[in-house]
Amino acid sequence: MVEGLRRVVVTGMGAVTPIGNDVGTYWEGLSSARNGVAPITLFDASRHACRFAAEVKGFDSAGWLEPKEAKRWDRFCQFGVVAAKQAVADAGLSIDDTNRHRIGVSIGSGVGGLLMMETQAHVLADRGPDRVSPFCVPMMIPNMATGLAAIALGARGPSSAVATACAAGSNAIGDAFRTIQLGLADAMVCGGAESAITPLGVAGFASAKALSFRNDDPATASRPFDRDRNGFVIGEGAGVLVLESLDHARARGATVLAEVVGYGTTCDAHHITAPSPGGTGGAEAMRLALADARLNPEAVDYVNAHGTSTQANDSNETAAIKAALGAHAQRIPVSSTKSMTGHLLGGSGGIEAVAAVLAIGHNLVPPTINYSTPDPACDLDVVPNQAREHPVNVVLSNSFGFGGHNVCLAFRRMT
C-alpha cells in the first residue's frame, strides 16, 4: 500500500450461490464439500451438448425484494441486489441522508441480463417490435445490478459496473478498494453477479468448447487440476462485500472480518479466450497484489485459485502461482471452490472473495472436490476432496477472464 492511503476492511458479506443462498449456508456447503452441480432445470436442455449446470436452488427473494420488482428484473439483478442487501445487513451499516453520498456500489457482471435479452429477442421475432418489454434494455445491461442495488440501498456515492468477463467481480472489489483508499468514499458495496444459464448462454459456451460434456455423471464434471478435467461447469449467483475505511468502521463500532491489502490487475494481450503461455499475466497480477500489500510470497497461507477445470486454465494458473510465489507455492494449499459451485463467470470473484474471508475467519481451507487423478502439470497442494484445518492469515484470490483480464486480491487477518 502507498503511504498515506487509507486502510480498507471487510465488514459485511452476502452470497447467493449454487450451494447456499446466504453466507452461513454457503460456508457450510464449502466446508462440507457440497456439490452444486446437477441437470439443468431452468430450461429444456435435451437438445444441448451440455445438459447440466450449477443452478441456484430454492432462491426466494421474498423479504428482500418487492414481488412486483422481482418480476420485472433479470435473474442476475435479483441475485445481486439480494446479496448486496444481505451484506449491508451483515455489516450493520445504516445508509441515510447523513452518509449516502459517501457510500457507493460496484457490482461486476460478465454477461449481464442474458435471460432478458434472449426472452425479448423471441418476443420480437414471434410477436413483433411493439410487444418488446419496456424493461428489456434496462434489465439486460450489465450495470443494472449496480444501479438497482444503489436504488434499493439509497447509496449515492461512486457507482460503477465492471464487465471484464470472469474477472468482473474481483475487478469490482479491487476498484472499490482503491476508491476507499483514495478517500473518494467511506464505504463500498461491491462484488459480482451473474445468471447466464440460458439456452443461448449454455449453447454459446458449449460451441466454444469451454464446457464439460460429462452428461453421464455431471456431479463429477467440475474437477479442477485433475488430469481428466475437460471443461468448466457454468454456475450462477452473486457474492457481495461491504468494504469500509478502517477509521469509518471503527467509528461506528463495526465488526471487522478481514482487511483488504492488495489488488493486482493485468491483461495478457494474447488471445480472446486462451491465457498467455505459462500464465505470465496471472503471475504478474499476483506479484502486483503482493507488492501493493507489502507482503513477501512467504506470507501467503492460501490461494483461492481461479481453477476453472479447463485444460488451459489449470495448468497455466499452476505455472503462474509458481512464478509468483516461487518455492513457497509448494508449501501452501491452493484450492478451487468452483469444483463445488461451478463457474459463476462475472459472479465468481464475488463468491470467492467471500470464501477467502471465511477461510481467514475459520482457519479452514475449502477443498477441491472430484479430484482423483493427479496431473503433473498441476502439481500443487490442491486440498483434494475434504476441507482442511490450516492457519490462514493471508489469502490470495485469483480471477482470470476471457479477453486476457487477470485479477488478484489479497486479504489479511485484521491486526
pLDDT digits (tens, 9 = 90+) for 314-341: 999 999 999 999 999 999 999 999 999 9
Query: Residue 206: which pLDDT band, with cuts at 50, 70 and 90?
Result: very high
List the domains of the chain with CATH numbers: 8-251 (3.40.47.10), 264-412 (3.40.47.10)
Angle between helix axes 280-293 and 311-325 (nearest 10 degrees) is: 40
Q: Quick one: cell of 322?
A: 509458481
pLDDT at 101 over 80: yes
pLDDT > 70: percent of the chain: 99
Is residue 11 within 8 A of residue 254, CB to CB? The reply is yes
Q: Which residues, other chains included, contact 286 with Cβ-Cβ below 8 Å and sequence gap of 6+?
A: 264, 320, 321, 324, 325, 396, 398, 408
Report the C-alpha gap between 70 and 86 in whole angstroms. Answer: 16
Residue 4 has a pLDDT of 80
Residue 115 CA from chain centroid, whole number: 19
What integer best gives the mean pLDDT of the chain? 97
Q: Quick one: cell of 129?
A: 417490435
What number is the average pLDDT over the span 67-87? 95
pLDDT tens per residue across span 334-383: 999 999 999 999 999 999 999 999 999 999 999 999 999 999 999 999 99
Q: Quick one: cell of 232?
A: 468448466
Report the C-alpha gap between 165 and 170 in whole angstroms. Answer: 10
Residue 70 has a pLDDT of 87
Exposed/middle/buried for 214, CB within 10 Å: 0-12, 13-18, 19+?
buried
Is residue 91 within 8 A of residue 54, CB to CB? The reply is no
Exposed/middle/buried for 63, CB within 10 Å: 0-12, 13-18, 19+?
exposed
Report, as residue numbers or ranges, the catalytic residues: 166, 306, 343
Residue corresponding to grid cell 442495488 = 149
pLDDT at 2 over 60: no
- Output phi, psi for 77, to 5 deg: -70, -40
pLDDT at 200 over 70: yes
Report the C-alpha gap between 127 and 227 in whole angstroms. Answer: 49
